[in-house]
Structure 1
């Protein structure tokens, strides 16, 4: 009888294992069917999210285009103002009378009398009758 008791235990284990496997398969099937039901909703949500991102992208591109156009207008206005200022400055320079001519000034002529005295002094101090300090 003891052998049959062991057999009953094995049989119970097998039954439990079979029931557990069936339960897990049923749970997997339920999960898979839920995934199948959720998939169209998830796809729609992803498409809607993608459309939302595209709309945000379009809005951002439109904003950047407006900023670019405004910057181009400011640059163009600045260039026109600079060109007008340069034209005015050029016209003012042309309307001004020319500056007076500078007089040509000669450097002062050397004082010949002073030069003659210096030469005479040098001759006296180094001449034949001078006393050398060596």
Structure 2
């Protein structure tokens, strides 16, 4: 559960920041996206989930997130800015608490064997998330 929240947060952090450049931080081009508005609008949020899971309904920032999400998970978001990391945690927490089915879809697509739950064990515990 905690990992799922962290994974979701990382996902949105990457969405908000995407456009990766070789050996550099992810772009901050999307850092001004109002994540709270997306989280509180089922239609918009569902579009992001569909983008990540199925490659449909993708906005520009959603496309960028989809491209970098796997790398961000593998590297513990080392190319993410602090703001991106913070927003990712917010998104993951929201999805785990309020949209568990949608979170499960994302986790099934990006971590079907729950490998990242172990990788992010400390972060998950620190966020107070339980699986």
Instruction: Calculate the TM-score normalised by the size of structure 1.
Output: 0.17
Larger Rg: 1
Instruction: Calculate the TM-score normalised by the size of structure 2.
Output: 0.17
- Whose helix proportion is higher, 1 or 2? 1
Higher RCO (Cα < 8 Å, 6 or more apart): 2
